[in-house]
């Protein structure tokens, strides 16, 4: 016996299998649980909608109609392979079916012919409606068949079921023909192959580009700082001293090393805790590295 997947677990299972999933309106609370129990769950049932158009098909499966209130399934699979979740809980999709088929699904054995409608299937099966007219002419795009395979495999993987837990409506209820246009044996073979490997997860987003590392002027040596030395490095240093609140400039800073530069740098050294001769205003490597003068 399997407890039904929560809304979060169902959503995660589908996305982990590589599906594009859209949460339609209030699907998490859209169900028919007030009309009967939901669970234990035993399998996945595949249908076709007998409609065309994604938007109208999704709305129909969410709301239902006058003779059959919604939701009419748990997920609608569009032609492009997108899965629209429309229900969570008991849904009006399976109706009454063959109890021998249900026993075979539970035992994961070959299915017998369905020849009676004596057992409530809405209680026990997840349902996926694939958008298709069901006339044998409406095509089944590769993306849609792949999505059916992935959706069925996702639920089976979450429950630990094999492909034998995937059936078509036509294998459950006498008189039904859906899904029409591919065979359930072929689909089960695809599901079995998928379950034999790891799920195809969506490609990971590329890592965010790291901002370039800030580059700073290397310490040019104490001898660099002498009267008359002209360099853009001196200007860059002076601007950093001003930014640190240590500027002692009346004009500038400028490119020529000056007494104002020395006094400003001495203020920076004192800010760092240096005293006496260690705060003489002539840059040393330790204080220079901490000032972080940008490259010029």
The 10s digit of each residue's pLDDT in 261-278 is 999 999 999 999 999 999
pLDDT in tens, 228-245: 889 999 999 999 999 999
Average pLDDT over residues 143-155: 98
pLDDT in tens, 1-29: 589 999 999 999 999 999 999 999 999 99
Count Cβ atoms within 10 A of the Cβ of residue 133 and give its class: 0-12 exposed, 13-18 middle, 19 or more buried.
middle
pLDDT in tens, 90-109: 999 999 999 999 999 999 99
The proportion of the chain whose per-residue pLDDT surpasses 90, expressed as a percent, equals: 88
Alpha carbon separation from 33 to 37, 188, 295 (Å, rounded)? 6, 29, 69
H/E segment holding residue 176: none
Average pLDDT over residues 131-150: 97
**pLDDT for res 1:** 54
For 100-119, letters b (16+ CB in 10 Å) and e give bbbebbbeeeebeebeebeb
**pLDDT for res 46:** 98
Q: With both helix axes pointing from N to C terminus, report the angle between 142-159 and 184-195 in degrees, rounded to the nearest 10.
A: 60
For 175-186, letters b (16+ CB in 10 Å) and e give ebebbbbbebee
pLDDT in tens, 186-210: 999 999 999 997 665 555 667 766 6
The better pLDDT of the pair 213, 73 is held by 73
Answer whether the bond into residue 71 is a cis peptide, omega within 30°: yes
Could you give the CA distance from residue 86 to residue 184 in angstroms, rounded to a whole number?
23
**pLDDT for res 252:** 81
Q: Taking the mean position of all CA atoms in its chain, how far away is CA 56?
A: 26
**CATH of the domain spanning 7-195, picked from 3.40.80.10, 3.40.50.300, 3.30.230.10, 3.90.79.10:** 3.40.80.10
Average pLDDT over residues 164-183: 97
Task: For the chain, give every domain's residue range.
Answer: 7-195, 222-291
Is the alpha carbon torsion for 203, 199, 41, 110 positive or negative? Answer: positive
**pLDDT for res 251:** 83
Evaluate if residue 50 carries a pLDDT over 80: yes
**pLDDT for res 204:** 61
Alpha carbon separation from 242 to 247, 257, 293 (Å, rounded)? 4, 15, 12
H/E segment holding residue 232: helix 232-243
Q: In the structure, what pLDDT confidence band is assigned to residue 212 with cuts at 50, 70 and 90?
A: low
């Amino acid at each position: 016996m399997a407890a039904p997947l929560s809304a979060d677990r169902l959503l995660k299972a589908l996305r982990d299998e590589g599906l594009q999933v859209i949460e339609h309106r209030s699907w998490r609370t859209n169900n028919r649980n007030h009309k009967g129990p939901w669970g234990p769950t035993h399998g996945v049932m595949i249908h076709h909608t007998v409609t065309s158009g994604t938007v109208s098909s999704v709305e129909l499966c969410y709301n239902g109609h006058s003779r059959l209130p919604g939701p009419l399934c748990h997920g609608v699979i569009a032609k492009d392979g997108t899965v629209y979740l429309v229900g969570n809980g008991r849904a009006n999709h399976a109706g009454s079916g063959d109890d021998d088929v249900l026993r075979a699904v539970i035992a994961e054995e070959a299915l017998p012919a369905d020849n009676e409608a004596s057992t409530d299937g809405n209680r026990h099966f997840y349902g996926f409606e694939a958008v298709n007219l069901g006339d044998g002419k409406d095509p089944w795009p590769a993306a849609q068949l792949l999505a059916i395979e992935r959706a069925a495999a996702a639920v089976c993987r979450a429950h630990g079921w094999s492909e034998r837990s995937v059936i078509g409506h036509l294998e459950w209820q006498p008189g039904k023909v859906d899904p029409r246009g591919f065979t359930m044996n072929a689909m089960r073979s695809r599901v079995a192959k998928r379950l034999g490997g790891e799920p195809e997860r969506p490609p990971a987003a590329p890592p965010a580009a790291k901002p370039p590392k800030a580059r700073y002027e290397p310490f040019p040596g104490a001898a660099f700082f002498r009267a008359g030395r002209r360099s853009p490095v001196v200007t860059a240093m002076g601007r950093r001293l001003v930014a640190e609140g240590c500027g002692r400039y009346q004009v500038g800073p400028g490119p020529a090393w000056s007494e104002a530069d020395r006094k400003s740098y001495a203020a920076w050294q004192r800010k760092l805790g240096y005293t006496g001769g260690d705060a003489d205003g002539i840059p040393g490597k330790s204080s220079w590295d901490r000032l972080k003068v940008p490259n010029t």
